[in-house]
């Protein structure tokens, strides 16, 4: 199923064009235009497509039916993270510059590269196969998929499928495709404290309340040495079982490699297996952003009048994001938090079985295209809305696999990029996967 030069040219053109359209879900920038462009691309490939409105950004949905007995649902998202800090980008995040064999752009890896590669690869294979395809492209994944659940629920008949191929995979440090059997969950909140109408001269500090100090007091009760101190937070955590821990041994990235790709000088653990088990098996509470008072150049002597924190909780099975939100609220009340909590995203964690037709087809096709054994992990370190497909569609076969990124792809960071070769490999991997999935009975 190797690609012809002509095919590659067409695929790359479509990919770069999509990258040149911003689609930042946090601000809404370019979302409409990008959804339109995507729909046109799908139609041009013979996929019957539509733009479906939600309470937020629209879903782009498509179907390619060959009258087969099985149906695969392919999930991706066309939205991207914000680009700041812009000054740290070497080239414009929406210029989609190709240099040194890599494509640089916001969304190059997460998730437009994977989306386009899998779209081309699956459409190519389906023409000779026995599997019907459904495509669900979300526009709000990077803001926690606030409307996906109701979309899937409302369209559960239309979305019916035997298996779901999620995004969120990549190549590992050895260039091996990752097959991810589950996801961490997410709870994203913002905390705001306000003590007045304006910043005050800091000579008033002895008699007024400072929302920054109040925020720090509250935050300091949440985490200690990386551990979450909210009572009950760890109660529902299901530890990795023996098979899952064994699985992780194949994910044999060294601490040095990790530090290199993350460009940090220290990691929380030295032992490689401890690192892996933390990365995939432990929940976290992260400050994503905090701001209060004067943050400009030089000095300004003020008591701020408001303080704001954005915070995410990455959750593992069997933690329930709604329950964690309740625990957080109860904890904040207990410590006397006098502010507001805004829920900004909520996703279930989950792990599925490695013993499915879908996973076997992913393994066989990976070996065929990359000439290497793929690496299975029990769940992603990140988050995506895998849980709701299992829950709402009753799908048993589900995995994240076939991604264009690598450990240097800088998802969510400046200079996001992928190896161009890996884009075409992902096209081939998808075609091979569809072939294996449709022609073999396990």
∠ CA 225-227-233, rounded to 5°: 160
For a copy of itself, the closer of residues 292 and 432 by Cβ is 292
∠ CA 34-40-45, rounded to 5°: 130
- What residues between 350 and 409 interact with a copy of itself by CB under 8 A? 380-383
For a copy of itself, the closer of residues 294 and 442 by Cβ is 294
For a copy of itself, the closer of residues 114 and 308 by Cβ is 308
Q: Is 169 in the site for a copy of itself (CB under 8 A)?
A: no
- Residue 117 CB, nearest approach to a copy of itself (Å): 20
Among candidate residues 348, 398, 354, the one with its CA nearest the CA of residue 250 = 354
Of the residues 86, 154, 262, 330, which one makes contact with a copy of itself according to CB under 8 A: 262
Query: Cβ contacts of residue 40 below 8 Å, gap of 6+?
Result: none
Give just the sign of the alpha carbon dihedral 291, 296, 297, 302.
negative
Q: Is 251 in the site for a copy of itself (CB under 8 A)?
A: no
Q: Is 438 in the site for a copy of itself (CB under 8 A)?
A: no
For a copy of itself, the closer of residues 163 and 317 by Cβ is 317
CA–CA dist 221, 373 (Å, integer) = 45
Of the residues 303, 324, 386, 418, which one makes contact with a copy of itself according to CB under 8 A: 303
- Residue 80 CB, nearest approach to a copy of itself (Å): 11
The DSSP letter of residue 147 is: T
- Residue found under tokens 């075409």: 424
Per-residue x/- marks for a copy of itself, 9-48, CB under 8 A? ----------------xxx---------------------
- Residue 353 CB, nearest approach to a copy of itself (Å): 23
Q: Is 412 in the site for a copy of itself (CB under 8 A)?
A: yes
Residues binding a copy of itself: number (CB under 8 A): 89
For a copy of itself, the closer of residues 166 and 200 by Cβ is 200
For a copy of itself, the closer of residues 144 and 354 by Cβ is 144
Among candidate residues 236, 233, 238, 273, the one with its CA nearest the CA of residue 255 = 273
Residue 22 tokens, joined: 């911003």
- What residues between 119 and 148 interact with a copy of itself by CB under 8 A? 142-144
Q: Is 335 in the site for a copy of itself (CB under 8 A)?
A: no
For a copy of itself, the closer of residues 257 and 368 by Cβ is 257
For a copy of itself, the closer of residues 154 and 291 by Cβ is 291
- What residues between 200 and 239 interact with a copy of itself by CB under 8 A? 200-210, 212-213, 216-217, 219-220, 223-224, 226
Q: Is 286 in the site for a copy of itself (CB under 8 A)?
A: yes
CA–CA dist 203, 303 (Å, integer) = 8
For a copy of itself, the closer of residues 62 and 113 by Cβ is 113
Three-class secondary structure of residue 2 per DSSP: coil
CA–CA dist 251, 318 (Å, integer) = 23
Q: Is 195 in the site for a copy of itself (CB under 8 A)?
A: yes
Q: Is 270 in the site for a copy of itself (CB under 8 A)?
A: no
Q: Is 290 in the site for a copy of itself (CB under 8 A)?
A: yes
For a copy of itself, the closer of residues 68 and 260 by Cβ is 260
Q: Is 263 in the site for a copy of itself (CB under 8 A)?
A: yes
Q: Is 307 in the site for a copy of itself (CB under 8 A)?
A: yes
Q: Is 411 in the site for a copy of itself (CB under 8 A)?
A: yes
Q: Is 254 exposed, middle or buried (0-12, 13-18, 19+ CB in 10 A)?
A: exposed
Three-class secondary structure of residue 412 per DSSP: coil
Other beta carbons within 10 angstroms of residue 209's beta carbon come to 14
- What residues between 52 and 91 interact with a copy of itself by CB under 8 A? 81-82, 84-85, 88
Output the DSSP codes for 380-403: -SSB-THHHHHHHH---EEEE---
CA dihedral 401, 404, 408, 411 (to 10 degrees): -80
**Buried/exposed code over 39-78 (b: 16+ C-beta within 10 A; e: otherwise):** bebbeebebebeeeebebbbbbbbbbeeeeebbbbbbbbb
């Amino acid at each position: 199923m190797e690609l012809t030069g002509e095919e590659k040219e067409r695929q790359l053109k479509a990919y770069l064009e999509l990258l040149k359209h911003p689609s930042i879900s946090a601000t809404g920038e370019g979302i409409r235009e990008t959804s339109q462009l995507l729909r046109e691309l799908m139609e041009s490939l013979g996929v019957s497509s539509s733009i479906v409105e939600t309470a937020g950004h629209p879903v782009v949905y498509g179907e390619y039916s060959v009258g087969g007995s099985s149906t695969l649902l392919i999930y991706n998202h066309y939205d991207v993270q914000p680009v700041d800090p812009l000054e740290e980008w070497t080239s414009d995040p929406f210029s989609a510059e190709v240099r040194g064999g890599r494509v640089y752009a916001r969304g190059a890896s997460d998730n437009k590269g994977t989306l386009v590669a899998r779209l081309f690869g699956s459409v190519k294979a389906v023409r000779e196969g026995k599997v019907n395809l459904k495509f669900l492209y979300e526009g709000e994944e990077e803001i926690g998929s606030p409307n996906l659940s109701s979309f899937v629920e409302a369209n559960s008949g239309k979305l019916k499928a035997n298996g779901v191929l999620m995004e969120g995979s990549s190549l590992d440090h050895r260039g091996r495709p990752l097959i991810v059997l589950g996801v961490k969950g997410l709870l994203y909140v913002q905390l705001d404290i306000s003590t007045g109408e304006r910043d005050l001269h800091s000579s008033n500090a002895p008699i007024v309340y400072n929302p920054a100090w109040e925020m720090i007091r509250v935050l300091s009760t949440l985490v200690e040495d990386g551990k979450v101190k909210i009572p009950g937070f760890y109660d529902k955590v299901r530890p990795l079982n023996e098979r899952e821990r064994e699985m992780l041994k194949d994910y044999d990235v060294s601490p040095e490699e990790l530090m290199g790709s993350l460009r940090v000088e220290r990691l929380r653990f030295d032992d490689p297996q401890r690192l892996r088990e933390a990365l995939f098996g432990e929940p976290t509470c992260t400050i994503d952003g905090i701001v209060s008072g004067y943050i400009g150049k030089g000095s300004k002597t003020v008591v701020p009048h408001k303080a704001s924190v954005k915070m995410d909780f990455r959750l593992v099975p069997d933690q329930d994001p709604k329950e964690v939100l309740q625990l957080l609220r109860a904890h904040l009340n207990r410590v006397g938090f006098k502010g507001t909590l805004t829920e900004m995203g909520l996703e279930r964690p989950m792990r599925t079985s490695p013993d499915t037709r879908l996973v076997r087809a992913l393994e066989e096709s990976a070996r065929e295209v990359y000439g290497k054994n793929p690496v299975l992990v029990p769940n992603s370190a990140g988050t995506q809305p895998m849980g709701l497909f299992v829950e709402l569609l009753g799908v048993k076969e589900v995995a994240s696999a076939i991604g264009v990124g690598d450990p240097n792809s800088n998802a969510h960071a400046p200079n996001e990029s992928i190896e161009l070769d890996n884009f075409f490999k992902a096209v081939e991997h998808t075609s091979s996967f569809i072939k294996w999935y449709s022609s073999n009975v396990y």
